[in-house]
Amino acid sequence: MTAPILRKLSDLRALTAAWHRDNKTIGVVPTMGALHQGHQSLVEAAKAGADRVIVTIFVNPKQFNNPEDLANYPRTEFEDAEKLDPFQVDAIYVPDPAEIYPQGFATTVSVAGLTDVMEGEFRPGHFDGVATVVAKLFLQTQADRAYFGEKDYQQLMVVRRMARDLDIPIEVVGCPTVREASGLAMSSRNQRLSADGLRVAAEKHHIMRALVQAVQSGAAFDTLAAQADTDLRSAGFTEVEYIQLRCAETLEPLTHADRPARLFVATWVDGVRLIDNLPVSRA
């Protein structure tokens, strides 16, 4: 069964109102399209966790701080709908832009603190765009649960905080990163990598895993991070924006893994920015 593609909020509201009348729980998987197995794993989690599943597809201009990045972002609605077929989702919401940002739209949702670092530092305005669109998608879909990948771990934390602070009655569920056999984290941006870029990108996972192991055995992070920076550049990355160890709960920076932590890395290859992160157990 092919899921209906809805472009109007009024059509979405009619559907979700009927589901709520029937006491059905709703799961939402917010995406910007260019779906891959990472998204499909979120859809599977949503199918297991809710009675009705909506996938949203909206390339959100407000979260791109770089116009070239927005222009190059893959738009593959037809293929995306086909990829969702086997999962039998209940609706695909591809809102007309005016349903998200109507004429005169003047509100920004901004989460302080968590957004000052990493992606927030290197992509100014990015998280305001994310928090604003996700708040709208939560309110428009009236979902009970929302599914996000840990690949964008900082985004997951920001969205969770936003929903909690605004009393939006939704459970934000984090799902593990899905990786290629090479270890490369799946991302819509991988489509823009050359064969050589893909080979370089895959090296990052190995360098990150070695770093995680060393930190878990008690070594100080700073020296290890400097070595990992050198290793990433030697592997072929043209830029290493950050390599950071942070508390998994609060995202505060750590020098040792003295509590459950996360290693975060942002790099460039082939003109494509790639982020990844790994869990780090207490040393």
* Catalytic annotation, residues: 39
Interface with ligand PAF, residue 130, by CB under 6 A:
yes
Among the listed residues 60, 115, 140, 190, the single contact to ligand PAF using CB under 6 A: 60
Interface with ligand PAF, residue 32, by CB under 6 A:
yes
Nearer of residues 152 and 203 to ligand PAF, judged by Cβ: 152
- Binding part of the chain for ligand PAF, among 27-35, 174-182, 218-226, 268-276 by CB under 6 A, reads 27-35
Token representation of residue 94: 């591809």
Among the listed residues 80, 152, 231, 276, the single contact to ligand PAF using CB under 6 A: 152
- Binding part of the chain for ligand PAF, among 3-11, 97-105, 129-137, 208-216 by CB under 6 A, reads 129-137
Q: From CA 113, how far away is CA 26, in angstroms rounded?
A: 30
Nearer of residues 134 and 208 to ligand PAF, judged by Cβ: 134
Among the listed residues 16, 41, 63, 187, the single contact to ligand PAF using CB under 6 A: 63
Q: From CA 216, how far away is CA 197, in angstroms rounded?
A: 29
Token representation of residue 127: 């998280």
Whole-number minimum distance, CB 227 to ligand PAF, in Å?
Answer: 31
- DSSP annotation of 185 reads B
Q: From CA 226, how far away is CA 19, in angstroms rounded?
A: 53
- The Cβ of residue 41 has, within 10 Å, a number of other Cβ atoms equal to 18
Q: From CA 69, how far away is CA 66, in angstroms rounded?
A: 5
Interface with ligand PAF, residue 31, by CB under 6 A:
yes
- Binding part of the chain for ligand PAF, among 30-38, 64-72, 96-104, 163-171 by CB under 6 A, reads 30-38
Token representation of residue 154: 């900082």
Nearer of residues 185 and 212 to ligand PAF, judged by Cβ: 185
Least Cα distance to 251 among 51, 139, 100, 116 occurs for 116
Interface with ligand PAF, residue 41, by CB under 6 A:
no
Q: From CA 99, how far away is CA 7, in angstroms rounded?
A: 8
Helix (H) or strand (E) holding 53: strand 52-57
Whole-number minimum distance, CB 134 to ligand PAF, in Å?
Answer: 5
Q: How far is CA 197 from the centre of its chain?
A: 21
Among the listed residues 3, 19, 30, 246, the single contact to ligand PAF using CB under 6 A: 30
- Binding part of the chain for ligand PAF, among 126-134, 164-172, 200-208, 213-221 by CB under 6 A, reads 126-134
Q: Name 150's Cβ contacts closer than 8 Å, sequence gap at least 6.
A: 156, 174, 175, 176, 177, 277
Q: Which residues bind ligand PAF (CB under 6 A)?
A: 30-32, 60, 63, 130, 133-134, 152, 155
